[in-house]
Amino acid sequence: MCGIVAYIGNREACPLIIKGLKRLEYRGYDSSGVALIEDSELNIYKKKGKVSDLESQLTDKNLNAKIGIGHTRWATHGEPNDVNAHPHFSNDRKLAIIHNGIIENYAAIKQNLIQKGHVFQSATDTEVLIHFIEDIQKETGTSLEEAVRLALLEVVGAYAIVVMSVDFPDQLIAARKGSPLVIGVGKDEFFFASDATPIIEYTKDVVYLDDYEVAVVRDGKLSIQNLDNTQKVPYIQKLEMELETIEKGGYDHFMIKEIFEQPRSIADSMRGRVRADEAHLQLGGLANYIDKLAASERIVIVGCGTSWHAGLVAEYLFEELARINVEVEYASEFRYRNPVIKENDIVIAISQSGETADTLAAIELAKSKGATIFGVCNVVGSSIARASHAGAYTHAGPEIGVASTKAFTAQVTVLTLIAIATAKRKGTISEETYRQLLVELETIPAKVEQVFENAAKIKEIAFIFTYARNFIYLGRGLNFPVALEGALKLKEISYIHAEGYPAAEMKHGPIALIDEDMPVVFLATKDSSYEKIVSNIQEVKARKGRVIAIVTEGDTLIPTMVDFVIEVPKVHEILTPLVSVIPLQLLSYYIAVMRGRNVDQPRNLAKSVTVE
């Protein structure tokens, strides 16, 4: 969703901000803009469409500002157009602001300001905020920094903001509540961004702003205070990200790069945690909580989209291995029910970005009822990671493609580790099974690599079905969430309508859809439900459905029954999703490319959904 980049220092701000905004394009947006202070003038340039459209508008201008703020907007209040794009001016055009999030009480504030003579150009809540700051500054005669603080004490909602003033060209003021903000600390220069990707090529020293904190850069120095006016010492951390991980590295799209990265990202999510030869499994972040997990009677898993699918996989794992009752909830539903949570319940929150608003709200609700929260996040330092009592990072590296791929397999890997560790502590698996699972886990990266040998074949299948109008994905057991995930991948990037079902559920309705035009993808690996899935395939073939089956290598029966087969290597049943999902990711990618879709930034979607 919306992206923030701001700079103050000795470099030319404009090209740096434009480059940073391009790095944030993956988050999804519909317009962009920059504000720059040049020759004692504050100017704003903004444009609906891509950052490159904004860039072309700037090419004939001689911009030499050393301070600026830039934004990519994903519309919430007011349609996507040039006027509603950020930055926004104050009434006297001396201040400018960029903002991620939503100011919920903006209408009341706006009404009050209109009565005082303020004139608004846009339909946004953000413009109201900067007018409000200006109003406080003028009425109280206080500093800009204090006016920002006083205004934020009044607003309800979520925000990450950066404010600048033409009267103070050596100052940038930023604040956050519920929307992330990272500050890069260079030599005599500072970078502000909604995630670390625009900063990484300039500095690895960063400060993650916490909720209710206001950061001020003045005269080359950074200070941080709480909204209640207490000073804080900035805590500088080292970024562990490498520049190459946020570039395409020769691939056509980030999505395909990230699909092919999975042998490494899965290995990274196990690195330092699993040593099969020593029968060692330890997740540092959970060490103090493993007894609590093992003793728990119920685990509630919350997440959205692909992360929710990883949660469904985990449900099977915890029940099968650790014999713990698990409920998996859409975070958006959970937060608005009155869920029954008891003090010894464990809530596992799964999120790639660590910023999903619904998941964050679900955590807060569960926390308020006394539950212990484990975060399984990919983005280090993200809001969900910090709101959790304990957790484990997935270490998949930055995921730029909007469609989640390597984050899913990393989530499943980490959840598998947690389930095995819990089962071991609880004594619900034998020593032999424990050791066997660790050995098998270490073979997964190589087995995923093996699936890639089928890429050309998957491409041919994609070609045949490029213009299909619908798809059905069917699986049982651990492959049921994989079917859901396959259908989600296809619909979000190719815009083909696709549904995932438990295969046995088909005869309760979806079977009516089957005819010779309906492609049906079966997850039909050799596992405990193999015979059942064979029957389901027969049911579809009897109605002339066109079947693509994901099978275990060496299967001789299913290839005689179906139209297309894609083999995956044999793995322990518990680990099946880690290999069976790979062909589905590739299939949706190739179909989307053949349909000419914008694979990395599909329409209407955002990488990190920070509004509910």
Nearer to ligand F6R, 308 or 522 (CB): 308
Residue 377 annotated as catalytic: no
Range in contact with ligand F6R (rule: CB under 6 A) among 62-70, 170-178, 302-310, 552-560? 302-310
Nearer to ligand F6R, 324 or 581 (CB): 581
Range in contact with ligand F6R (rule: CB under 6 A) among 121-129, 304-312, 426-434, 550-558? 304-312
Strand order in the sheet with 3-8: 41-48, 31-38, 67-73, 3-8, 190-193, 182-185, 205-208, 237-238
Chosen residue from 194, 306, 383, 580 binding ligand F6R by CB under 6 A: 306
Taking the C-alpha atoms of residue 328 and residue 330, their distance in angstroms, rounded to an integer, is: 7
**Using an 8 Å Cβ cutoff, are 90 and 130 in contact?**
yes
Active-site residue, selected from the candidate residues 2, 14, 304, 377 = 2
Say whether residue 404 binds ligand F6R (CB under 6 A).
Answer: yes
Say whether residue 359 binds ligand F6R (CB under 6 A).
Answer: yes
Nearer to ligand F6R, 356 or 454 (CB): 356
Active-site residue, selected from the candidate residues 48, 110, 257, 607 = 607
Nearer to ligand F6R, 352 or 494 (CB): 352
Closest approach of ligand F6R to the CB of residue 311, in Å? 10
Nearer to ligand F6R, 137 or 378 (CB): 378
Closest C-alpha among 330, 320, 326 to residue 351: 330
Question: What secondary structure letter does DSSP report for 514?
Answer: -
Chosen residue from 90, 269, 454, 608 binding ligand F6R by CB under 6 A: 608
Chosen residue from 351, 422, 454, 601 binding ligand F6R by CB under 6 A: 351
Distant-in-sequence, close-in-space partners of 314: CB < 8 Å, separation ≥ 6: 301, 326, 328, 348, 350, 412, 415, 416, 418, 419
Chosen residue from 33, 263, 305, 545 binding ligand F6R by CB under 6 A: 305
Cβ burial 308-328 (10 Å sphere, 16+ → b, else e): bbbbbbbbbbbebbbebebeb
Taking the C-alpha atoms of residue 43 and residue 595, their distance in angstroms, rounded to an integer, is: 41
Taking the C-alpha atoms of residue 414 and residue 216, their distance in angstroms, rounded to an integer, is: 38
Nearer to ligand F6R, 385 or 478 (CB): 385
Closest approach of ligand F6R to the CB of residue 303, in Å? 6
Q: Rule CB under 6 A: which of 13-32 touch ligand F6R?
A: none
Say whether residue 352 binds ligand F6R (CB under 6 A).
Answer: yes
Other CB atoms within 10 A of residue 532 CB? 14
The secondary structure of 515-567, three-state, reads: CCCCEEEEEECCCCCHHHHHHHHHHHHHCCCEEEEEEECCCCCHHHCCCEEEE
Q: How many residues bind ligand F6R (CB under 6 A)?
A: 15
Closest approach of ligand F6R to the CB of residue 539, in Å? 30
E runs forming strands in 406-545: 470-475, 497-502, 519-524
Say whether residue 100 binds ligand F6R (CB under 6 A).
Answer: no
Say whether residue 492 binds ligand F6R (CB under 6 A).
Answer: yes
**Using an 8 Å Cβ cutoff, are 566 and 454 in contact?**
yes
Chosen residue from 332, 356, 394, 585 binding ligand F6R by CB under 6 A: 356
Say whether residue 307 binds ligand F6R (CB under 6 A).
Answer: yes
Range in contact with ligand F6R (rule: CB under 6 A) among 156-164, 184-192, 240-248, 348-356? 348-356
Say whether residue 304 binds ligand F6R (CB under 6 A).
Answer: yes
Taking the C-alpha atoms of residue 435 and residue 276, their distance in angstroms, rounded to an integer, is: 7
Longest CA pairwise span in the chain (Å) = 82
Nearer to ligand F6R, 38 or 258 (CB): 258
DSSP for 193-240 reads ESSSTTTTTT-SEEEEPPTTEEEEEETTEEEEEETTS-EE----EE--
Residue 14 annotated as catalytic: no
Range in contact with ligand F6R (rule: CB under 6 A) among 134-142, 352-360, 418-426, 500-508? 352-360
Nearer to ligand F6R, 122 or 585 (CB): 585
Nearer to ligand F6R, 281 or 487 (CB): 487
Q: Is 42 helix (H, G, I), strand (E, B) or coil?
A: strand
**Using an 8 Å Cβ cutoff, are 286 and 415 in contact?**
no
Angle at 448 (CA atoms; ends 395, 414), nearest 5 degrees:
30
Closest approach of ligand F6R to the CB of residue 352, in Å? 4
Closest approach of ligand F6R to the CB of residue 583, in Å? 16
Q: List contacts with ligand F6R (CB under 6 A).
A: 304-307, 351-353, 356, 359, 403-404, 488, 492, 608-609
Catalytic residues: 2, 607
